[in-house]
Amino acid sequence: MSYSHILYEFDLITYLLFKNNAIWIFMDVSKNNTDLINKIEKVSELRKSISLELRTIANKTNISTSILKSIESLKFDKLPPYPMKESFINQYFNEVENRDDQE
């Protein structure tokens, strides 16, 4: 049975697939995903502009600073496998964007 390939785009990087009556949500975490790369670069610049330290994000999210550095430097091969990789990236985005809203 084949996938009904990319039915909906929820945001820049999350897609919905159906297979065998199940719903699979995944993030295209690769160097080919220019939307993801652009968002990481934008959020990284935002983090620096509001003087938010990676250590602060690490303490809040329980994600190590080395993982956060790998996200910002686009070293996706250094991140843990699915689904933690996607979760860590989303938590990083949320923490920076929420902190900016509070400023």
What pLDDT, on the 0 to 100 scale, is given for residue 56? 96
What pLDDT, on the 0 to 100 scale, is given for residue 25? 45
What pLDDT, on the 0 to 100 scale, is given for residue 31? 66
Domain-wise residue ranges, the chain: 29-102
Helix (H) or strand (E) holding 54: helix 54-61
More confident residue, 3 or 65: 65
92/76 Cα distance (integer angstroms): 14
Burial class (CB in 10 A: 0-12, 13-18, 19+), 14: middle
List residues bridging with 25 in a β-sheet: 16
Q: Which CATH class is domain 29-102?
A: mainly alpha
What pLDDT, on the 0 to 100 scale, is given for residue 101? 73
pLDDT tens for 32-91 read 788 889 999 999 999 999 999 999 999 999 999 999 999 999 999 899 988 889 899 999
19/4 Cα distance (integer angstroms): 7
